[in-house]
Amino acid sequence: MNVGIVGIGLIGGSLAKAYKLAGNIVYGYDADESILGFAQLSGAIDKVLDDNSVGLCDVLFIAVNPGDAVAYLEKAAPKIKKNAMVIDCCGVKRFVCSRCFPLAQKHGFVFVGGHPMAGSHKAGFKNSRDNLFRGASIILVPPVYDDPVLFGRIEEILIPAGFSHLTITSAEKHDERIAFSSQMAHVVSNAYIKSPTAITHKGFSAGSYKDLTRVAQLNADMWAELCMENSDFLEQELDNFIKEIKRYKKALAEKNKNELKKLLEEGSRLKKELDN
């Protein structure tokens, strides 16, 4: 299988390594030519993905920011092989899918919205690895929901990556849920670390601090774009979070231990219920 990878960072680089390990021919493209060269030297990709080789690919993964992903596909669409499968790896789906489904229909390839549920706060090709997706889930937004042949083809194409679970959903549901499970977590972590006390945390912090601040260090350009593209759902989640935080603050201000205990028990119980 000829596999094209657009964007040789953490996600794209890990896909390249996984598909290369499985014996596929991997073509790669990155706006940073030094990264592209290093990926070639390290053996993660076989050849450069360009206007000519993109037409040879049976599957094309696009692992760049949403705006760049759409721009790339708009340019490459006429050159993509008929019936080839294109899967993006962006963290928002309404924006990407609304623009890419029509391109696929017009030019005769198959586009599937994708979002791998794996990653690291350490970005870049240097942190990529062939087993990043092993045992992980990938969220998929297909063009139709009643085509078992298409789903079988998607499953077969994704085998080399090592995903253990495929979640099928709509672009709308994806963005609504990811606003809570991912985007708000990054915003809250990033805001939390701005406390004036943070500078003196050494010697006074352990697991709780590490858990809450793990994703505070992020790619600001990428996350700003993701959050802005999903601002409606993210604002809803933040409004609810702020409302809850105010309840805790009110209990503290009023020295109401019983109310604070109630709030803490509510959160603890809900966490246990959700995990079970």
What is the pLDDT, as a whole number, of residue 104? 98
What is the pLDDT, as a whole number, of residue 123? 84
Mean pLDDT by groups of 10 residues along the chain of 276 residues: 97 97 98 94 96 97 97 98 97 98 98 92 89 96 96 97 96 98 97 95 92 93 96 98 98 98 98 94
Q: How many CA atoms within 13 Å lie on the side-chain side of 41?
A: 8
What is the pLDDT, as a whole number, of residue 46? 97
What is the pLDDT, as a whole number, of residue 143? 97
What is the pLDDT, as a whole number, of residue 263? 98
Separation between Cα atoms, residue 11 and residue 124, nearest integer Å: 8
Close Cβ partners of 25 (under 8 Å, ≥ 6 residues apart): 1, 2, 3, 46, 47
What is the pLDDT, as a whole number, of residue 121? 72
Close Cβ partners of 88 (under 8 Å, ≥ 6 residues apart): 61, 62, 63, 69, 73, 96, 100, 111, 113, 114
What is the pLDDT, as a whole number, of residue 79? 98
